[in-house]
A and B are shown apart, each in its own frame.
Chain A
Amino acid sequence: MGIAADGNMASYGNNLIETLAGHAPRTPADFARDHAGAFKG
């Protein structure tokens, strides 16, 4: 996690993952579904 000098979280989006990885970027829903076990208890 990085915090810019002015205190705001830097934010950006790009399509490099699609270009380099050959698939759409995973979404938070993908992440949450794949790691749901870690958050249950």
Chain B
Amino acid sequence: MIGIIGATGTTGRGLIATLKEKGADFRCLVRDTAKAAETLGSDVELVQADLGDAASIQAGLQGCDKLFLLSGHSPVMVEQQLNAVNAAKAAGVTHIVKLSGGSFIIQEDSPAMIGRGHWQIEQEIRNSGLDWTFLRPGFFMQNFLNMAEAIKGMGKVMMPVPADVGLGMIDVRDTADAAATILTSEGHAGQVYELSGPNITPAEAVAAIGVAIGKEITFVQVPMEGAIGAMKGRGMPD
């Protein structure tokens, strides 16, 4: 039995769809079971759990041998995921598959709080005595969905990177497909998988969006400070 934390997000929904196709035995731990059933389907086993409540996670993971761990970026991400790690161990889980951040940001002294957080969680999992697998994806293509309003309104994409720098972009559906394989097969313990699709420049990606919608989209490189302000405006932490 696979326990899933993070089932209702973008990557999680893709993972659940693939696990269903594979006929895998899994259970999703969610805050709101009624809402999750609407999102994931009534054929998915759901149990109520709160990442702030380790006891609820431990109860939800009873009978699970593997855990897929994903939670949103927030100031309490570390506390919540460590709750899950400790609860998993107490519940008898033997293998944690964690969706982490990109390798370039996961450092003890990363300037980004999110990078430091993932680093700390990974270290705790490594020291937990459990088997582990870390997935470190590249730039999510779905990030462009956050720019949909600017594309629709101004025909522009604004990012703090040069138009011609190659990025290891990945569609979150591919991350989900890879995670589903890892969760349903053996031989992945102790592995750090850096996941990326083809090396694509922002200009190429933006051009592809333009082709798909029949409209020319302009790429604009903006100062980092402006991008940080925009991301904070969307509620992202430091």
Instruction: List chain A positions with a Cβ less than 8 A from chain B.
Output: 1-5, 7-14, 16-17, 20-23, 25-33, 35-36, 38-41
Contacts and interface: CB of A to CB of B under 8 A. Distances in A.
Contacts of A2: 101-102, 104-105, 112, 115, 139
A34 B204 CA distance: 17
B212 A39 contact: yes
A32 B165 contact: no
Interface stretch (B37-45, B56-64, B82-90, B170-178): B170-178
B171 A31 contact: yes
Given A11-B167, A13-B197, A25-B197, A40 B177 contact: no
Interface of B: 101-105, 107, 110-112, 115, 138-145, 148, 151-152, 160-161, 165-171, 173-174, 177-178, 181-182, 193-200, 204-205, 208-209, 211-213, 224
Contacts of A40: 152, 213
B168 to A, nearest CB: 4
Contacts of B138: 10, 12
Given A11-B168, A25-B171, A39 B177 contact: no
Contacts of B200: 27-28
A17 B193 CA distance: 10
